[in-house]
Structure formats: structure tokens, C-alpha cells
Amino acid sequence: MRTRFTEMFGVEHPIVQGGMMWVGRAELVAAVANAGALGFITALTQPTPEDLVREIERTRELTDKPFGVNLTILPSIDPPPYAEYRQAIVDSGIEIVETAGFNPADHLPFFKDAGIKVIHKCTSVRHAAKAERIGVDAVSIDGFECAGHPGEDDVPGLILIPAATRQLTIPVIASGGIADARGLVAALALGAEGVNMGTRFMCTVESPVAQEVKEQIVRSTELDTKLIFRTLRNTARVASNEVSREVVEIESRGAEFGDIQHLVSGARGRKVFEDGDLDAGIWTAGQSQGLIDDIPTVSDLVTRMVGEAEDIITSRLQGLVGARSEVGA
């Protein structure tokens, strides 16, 4: 399956593993690269820019295929040294970057000067159009279904993706709610050049999260997420658990960040992934949980997805067109 995305980024399949806090580490990213898809190390998962350099080196020991680094810029009480992480990415000779969160304008010139291709991930057509204007190479657009930050417009992918592709000229990668071949084919039909998946890649053998988390994703349905930080206009879609339900409940009473801060700390969320204690804190997962019912290796997942997508296109969809022309005849 060749698209403008596979051509531009030099990968075999139109499938991306987007940045994931605590999850986007060398083992997973290298497995994605070796499977012919495009994986991203998540810069801020590394405690310091020097650790990021080491993680990039570790990934290179595990694969000789292309991979990238995600730099997520979000509102933060104690912002990380973004410029230093950016410099670590440039100095490491990384060729592909995924930016996410705020407008990447401050960082883009540094990446472009270093010849780095940039995919900006955003959640609205207006932000995607802006990113195109300032010179990013491609955009990933997250629909309301997605894990993590869906923005505040609440537009699902079925509308957001074609609304974007009819307006943009750079390649668009559909993100959010995609977990299998049906989602991939649908995204291509909507005009996207590829898909980005988070939750699906988190639930693979190589994903560095506790087995309990993967099994919980398999058990969960599309109903098992919560939207937190709605009242703060910084919405995040996370797994439904004791902590996220309590946050939503406190927010419904008109809370301020200080009232929920103790519940939502990154350190507590990290414990979920490391110890498998599912109620230790907030952890990110999307509605696509409802489509996930196994824990495959990354290679099996990607091979299956591409194979089934080709089958859907050449058999089921082609068959529908054939059936119509036969009726017509």
C-alpha cells in the first residue's frame, strides 16, 4: 500500500505509532520500525534531554529502519526545558519529528534548518491549516474518539478527517479510534494518506506497560473512557477507573486544578504502567479499546492490518462495485 505518506517518510506501511507518554520507548518504537511502520519515541518520557539522546541510541541498536521523536507541548505548572529536548533531537540526527499540543511555530525553524520532516498532530481543521501554512510536512488529526487530548471541539474523525483533507494539500494522517484494518481502509476512503494509532500499539507484546494494563484494554469496551479536565479546557480522554471517575465528579462540582492535582499527577499514572495497579492514577486510553481483543506482537499486528486492509479493498469493496454493475447490466 503506497501513499504520499509512505513515499514522503520512507516507510513500507501507512501506519504510525504516535507519541505516548511512558509508552513510546525504544523497544516499542524499534518493533514498529522493524514492522515497516513509523514509530515515535516520546521525548518527555525521558527525564532529561541527555536520557533522550541515550534512548535514541538504544533504539538505533534495535533497528536500522526510520523512526522519529515526538515533542509534546502542553500547559504545565512546571514546564520541561523544551528547547533543550529540541536540541537533543537535532543533535542526534533524527530525521522525523512529531510535534503535538501547542502551535509548533517556535520549534519548526530549528527542525527545518536541520532538514527534519515534521508531522504536527492537532485536533481541528483550523490548526491543521495553520500548521500547513507555517511549513510542516504533514499533519496527524485526532478525532474526538482519540486517547489523550481531543481538544474542545468534539468533532469525531468521520467528519474531521474529510473536512481536513478537502482543505489541505499536505498529507493528512487520520488518528483516533483506529485499531484495525477496517479503520485503516475507512481512513484512506476519507482522504487520509495513513493512520496513527496509540491505544492499539499500547496493547502489544513489545509495549513497555504492565501486562495488567494490556489485559484491561482487552476487557474494556468503547464505553470505558472518561473525559477529564473538561472544565479546565484541557480535555483528556483517559481510561475509566476509580481515579478518573472521582476527577470527573469533583469537576462537576465546579473544581479548580488545585482540587484535583493530587489525583492526576504524572507519577501516579506512571505507577499504573509500571506496577499494573489499574487504580493507582490516571492513565490514557481511547475509545478504540472497544475494538481491541488481543495482545499481538507489533509485527503480527501490522502484517494482519495491512493484509486485511488489502482484502477489504480488493474483495469486499471491489465486490460491491462489481455487484452494482452486474445489477446495472
The interface region with ligand FMN, picked from 3-11, 53-61, 139-147, 309-317 by CB under 6 A, is 139-147
In angstroms, what CA-CA distances link 257 with 79, 149, 220, 231, 296? 16, 17, 28, 9, 38
| CB closer to ligand FMN, 66 vs 150 | 150
Minimal distance in Å, beta carbon 65 to ligand FMN?
19
| CB closer to ligand FMN, 100 vs 228 | 100
Nearest residue to the partner ligand FMN, using Cβ: 198
| CB closer to ligand FMN, 66 vs 80 | 80
Near ligand FMN in 279-298, by CB under 6 A: 284-286, 288
In this structure, the chain runs to a length of: 329
Minimal distance in Å, beta carbon 237 to ligand FMN?
8
| Binding mask of the shown chain, residues 11 to 50, with x at each position contacting ligand FMN by CB under 6 A | -------xxxx-x------------------x--------
CA dist 254 and 230 (Å) reads 11
Task: State which of residues 70, 123, 207, 231 lies at the interface with ligand FMN (CB under 6 A).
Answer: 70
CA dist 130 and 133 (Å) reads 5
Task: Specify whether the CB–CB gap between 59 and 31 falls below 8 A.
Answer: no
What is the chain's percent helix, strand, coil content, to nearest 5?
Answer: 45, 15, 40
The interface region with ligand FMN, picked from 6-14, 144-152, 157-165, 219-227 by CB under 6 A, is 144-152
Minimal distance in Å, beta carbon 45 to ligand FMN?
8
Does the footprint of ligand FMN cover residue 165 (CB under 6 A)?
Answer: no
| CB closer to ligand FMN, 98 vs 251 | 98
| CB closer to ligand FMN, 41 vs 170 | 41
Minimal distance in Å, beta carbon 177 to ligand FMN?
5
| Binding mask of the shown chain, residues 94 to 113, with x at each position contacting ligand FMN by CB under 6 A | ------x-------------
Q: How many CA atoms lie within 13 Å of 188's alpha carbon, on the beta-carbon side? A: 21
Near ligand FMN in 184-223, by CB under 6 A: 196-200, 202
| CB closer to ligand FMN, 6 vs 237 | 237
Please provide the DSSP assignment of 55-81 as one string.
HHHHHHHH-SS--EEEEEE---SS---
Minimal distance in Å, beta carbon 85 to ligand FMN?
12
- 258-266 contacts at long range (C-beta below 8 A, 24 or more positions apart): 260/228, 264/228, 264/229, 266/21
Cell numbers for 261, please give them.
492535582
Total residues contacting ligand FMN (rule CB under 6 A)?
Answer: 29
Task: State which of residues 55, 132, 137, 145 lies at the interface with ligand FMN (CB under 6 A).
Answer: 145
Task: State which of residues 29, 89, 125, 178 lies at the interface with ligand FMN (CB under 6 A).
Answer: 178
DSSP E strand stretches across the chain: 15-17, 38-42, 68-73, 96-101, 117-122, 138-142, 172-175, 194-197, 225-228, 236-239
CA dist 155 and 269 (Å) reads 27
Task: Specify whether the CB–CB gap between 153 and 284 falls below 8 A.
Answer: no
CA dist 198 and 246 (Å) reads 25
| CB closer to ligand FMN, 21 vs 329 | 21
- Site for ligand FMN, rule CB under 6 A: 18-21, 23, 42, 70, 72, 100, 121, 142, 145-148, 175-178, 196-200, 202, 284-286, 288
